Structure 1
Amino acid sequence: MDGEVIGIASHISTVSGGFQGLAFAVTSNQCLDLLDRAQTWSGIEGTIVQGRLARVLNVPQEFGLLVKRVSGVSWGGKIGLHPSSLKMTIEGEEFSVGGDIILKIGEMTVNDEPDFFKKLGDYTYGLSQAGKKLSVTVLRAGRIITLNEK
């Protein structure tokens, strides 16, 4: 009420990939730590694909993270992730497709656990703090490939 920041939206869990869905926020007191951690995975916008959509896209596991957008100067851009390039309508809903579908980040398999993105942030932050390089396994144009941080 006094114009002070008390929370910042951290991400939105959505089926459609739009801004409708369940949003999560963190307190402003946690922001400094989270900003440090976010830099190891910032610059990527994606959508969890599962069920029928995963089958249509030939995802070889139950869940994948479809890369919708990537900032070229971010970690995702530097490792070479490809963003979506096409729009597709499935059962009346529009989806971005044609980009990489992330299957694994290091040893972490993509899943739909409520705290998956927090665990992912902690994992990538831990690797960066230890000076270790990260690898990402993706489905790209029907082939499974591994991208390695340089």
Structure 2
Amino acid sequence: MLKVIAWGFIFLSFFVSAKDYSKLYEKLDKSVVIIYSDTEQVRAQNNELVSFTSSSLGTGTLINSEGLILTAAHVVNSADELTVEVQGKGQFKAKVLSSYQAADIALIKLITNESDFPAIKIANSEKTKIGEEVFVIGTPYGLSHTLTVGHLSGRRTQKGLGKGEIEFLQTDAAINQGNSGGPLFNSKGELIGVVSYIETQSGGNEGLGFAASSNMVKRILIEQPTIWFGLEFTVLPTGVAKALNVPQKSGLLIEKVAKQSFADKVGLKGGVLEAEIEGQQMILGGDILLAVGDIYITGDASNYLSMANYLKNVEKGKRISFKILRNGHIIELSAEKPNLKIKLI
């Protein structure tokens, strides 16, 4: 009998301590948006160029009343057109302002004159401790505004390219396809992360989800906003570079350029022909980037760090030059570095 009473107290204490997120959900969900991404592809088929559009969706969070939205870079980075659905307000076109692929974070803005969107402040992610409850609101498999709950399981850091450390928050809250770019909240309803990816062997959630920390997001996208290049590319190994008559040991094969991106303003061109070379899938026919400024592509990790530092140190308004190989000829293109100023208020 005493054992039964003891177990009763254990279960009672569990249910008493379990947090009810219904009020927080009702308050915060208004700021969570669905992002529809359309990407135009051009391919060479039967001696003709055929155009088609691929679509995907992700999630985002409104962070100011004028329509600034945090999301994941892979949701929007190569998109030609973005449509955002805001609860109670309808759909809006949007544009990418800043993106940093290494940390999988991006900042986009609704194209509208409205200034009364329900926004959430970015919190200090350091204040949430490992073991605390966290929750996610997103669009897993297209099921919009779904809430999942878990714990902050760990913090994972790695070196970034000219942007300091990259920090991801690990969580066992269920994350699946469609959650990308959505908010990670602590138990107080504070925004502490942007959902990025999962580690999985089955293709679904296995309790290993990762979100870019809010402190890193503020540093990279708000305080020192990064250029949105809007590129998909392949780093050419030495053997492949030689086969493509590249006049150096490596280069970046440009496969896709998003409309209105910085790469589009520069004049870079993507490829059209799907191919497999030495077991590697790539899209041929586009430009091959040889150098950014005076930094030539070598394929080494240190090379990309030098390139990132160069781009970071170019003054706003100054021209950035790009040396490319196009149709067997080396040409040089350039464009002014964007003058990005991000204001949350």
C-alpha distance in 2 between matches for 1:81 and 1:65: 12
Quick check: 2:251–2:299 contact (8 Å CA) kept in 1?
no
Larger radius of gyration: 2
Quick check: 1:38–1:121 contact (8 Å CA) kept in 2?
no
CA-CA distance at 1:128 after TM superposition: 4.0
1:89 aligns with 2:267: no
Please list the CA deviations of residues 85-137 of structure 1 after superposition, one character each: whole Å capped at 9, or x if unmatched.
Answer: 111222444321111000000111112232544443332232143x3101100
RMSD of the alignment, in Å?
2.4
Give identity over the alignment, percent: 32
* Correspondence for 2:226: 38
C-alpha distance in 1 between matches for 2:305 and 2:225: 10
C-alpha distance in 2 between matches for 1:7 and 1:63: 34
The structure whose RCO (Cα within 8 Å, separation 6+) is larger is 1
C-alpha distance in 1 between matches for 2:252 and 2:212: 23
* Correspondence for 2:334: 148
Residue 2 of structure 1 is aligned with which of 115, 134, 137?
134
C-alpha distance in 2 between matches for 1:85 and 1:71: 14
Quick check: 2:234–2:282 contact (8 Å CA) kept in 1?
no
* Correspondence for 1:138: 324
Scaled by the length of structure 1, the TM-score of the pair is 0.75
Q: Sort the Cα spacing of 1:107 and 1:90 in 2 relative to 1 into closer, same or farther, 3 A.
A: same
**Structure 2: runs of 5+ lacking an equivalent:** 1-132, 136-183, 185-191, 197-210, 337-345
State the secondary structure of the residue aligned to 2:134: coil
* Correspondence for 1:13: none
Scaled by the length of structure 2, the TM-score of the pair is 0.35
Quick check: 2:255–2:282 contact (8 Å CA) kept in 1?
no
Quick check: 1:71–1:77 contact (8 Å CA) kept in 2?
yes
CA-CA distance at 1:30 after TM superposition: 1.9
Q: Sort the Cα spacing of 1:27 and 1:133 in 2 relative to 1 into closer, same or farther, 3 A.
A: same
C-alpha distance in 2 between matches for 1:8 and 1:42: 21
* Equivalent pairs, count: 133
Amino acid corresponding to residue 53 of structure 1 in structure 2: V
Quick check: 1:42–1:76 contact (8 Å CA) kept in 2?
yes
Q: In the TM superposition, what are the counterparts of 1:91-130 in structure 2 within 5 Å? A: 91-129=278-316
Amino acid corresponding to residue 98 of structure 1 in structure 2: G
The structure 1 segments of at least 4 consecutive aligned residues displaced by more than 6 Å after TM superposition are none
